[in-house]
Structure 1
Amino acid sequence: MTVSLHHIVIDSHDLPALARFWTRVLDWKILSEREREIVIGPDENAPVGICFMPVTDRKQVKNRLHLDLTPGPDGREAEVERILALGARRVDVGQTGTESWTVLADPEGNEFCVLRPKTTLIA
């Protein structure tokens, strides 16, 4: 039998604030909230969710793993502006300016990308 991806875990200083940010970005909801863990997802039976866990140390370098988000029908730029209004910020991780994605960071500095619209994992 093969394992399957259950949660993506994001370390956080302010679990409730970061969980709220990501629920608004993804239009998900909080599924479970405990003192040391908050889980979000589209619903409790979804194949994958995001789990926020507390840490005391500050983020110091670029993430080695990040999320790639596909924009909705309004396109990448509209989605980037919406996410910036929710509290994200633009970050430079060495882009040339010709990429088909935009790099942002959540309120705690975790980088993620908003891609050009895609319909497959490889296109």
Structure 2
Amino acid sequence: MRFRAITLDAREDELERTERFWVEGFGYRRARVSGPFVVLGHDGPGWPEIILQRVSETKVAKSPVHVDIESDDVVTDAERLAILGAEELRVVSERGRRWVVLRDPAGNEFCLATPRTEP
């Protein structure tokens, strides 16, 4: 088995903005479109595909799953992502690490965190 992709839901009216967010914010590129899916690829090693899935319903409950992304400059990157459409939910400092919980334009949560020094 292997971890291949992260699938994120986006309503039709959020899809273009959400795609632009992941492309401009993290260096993804549109790889292909297949039915209700927009597949984003990344040329960097270790980056999984992101699949944006068109959905008709609005998400009403918080998802129990989120993506963790490491950053050498959490404050600057969080500000840049906010300009691209991310919503900052909260800032956490715990056990010598700092992270910001954000939401992409389609409402999918992710954390932007300082690099881990231990597993």
Query: TM-score w.r.t. structure 1 length?
Result: 0.79
Counterpart of 2:42 in structure 1: which amino acid?
A: P
Distance change in 2, residues 1:25/1:91 (3 Å): same
Alignment of 1:36-75 (within 5 A): 36-43=36-43, 48-72=48-72, 75=73
Residues 27-65 of structure 1, C-alpha deviations (whole Å, 9 max, x = no match): 11111124411111213x976201011111111122211
Structure 2 CA distance for aligned equivalents of residues 69 and 27 of structure 1: 13
Instruction: Report how far residue 66 of structure 1 moved.
Output: 0.6
* Distance in 1, Cα, partners of 2:34 & 2:66: 24
Residue in structure 1 matched with residue 101 of structure 2 by the alignment = 103
What is the number of equivalent residue pairs in this alignment?
A: 113
Which ranges of structure 1 fall in alignment gaps of 5 or more residues?
Answer: none
Q: Which among 83, 91, 99 is matched to residue 85 of structure 1?
A: 83
Which residue in the other structure is 1:18 paired with? 18
- Give the Cα separation in 2 of the matches to 1:110 and 1:77: 20
State the alpha-carbon separation in 2 of the partners of residues 17 and 119 from structure 1: 34
Is the 1:6–1:49 Cα contact (8 Å) retained in structure 2? yes
Q: 1 or 2, which has the higher strand percentage?
A: 2
- Unaligned ranges ≥5, structure 2: none
Residues in 1 aligned to 2:81 and 2:17: alpha-carbon distance in whole angstroms: 15
| TM-score scaled by length of structure 2 | 0.82
Percent pairwise identity? 29
Q: Which moved more, 1:76-85 or 1:97-106?
A: 97-106
Report the Cα offset of residue 12 of structure 1: 0.9
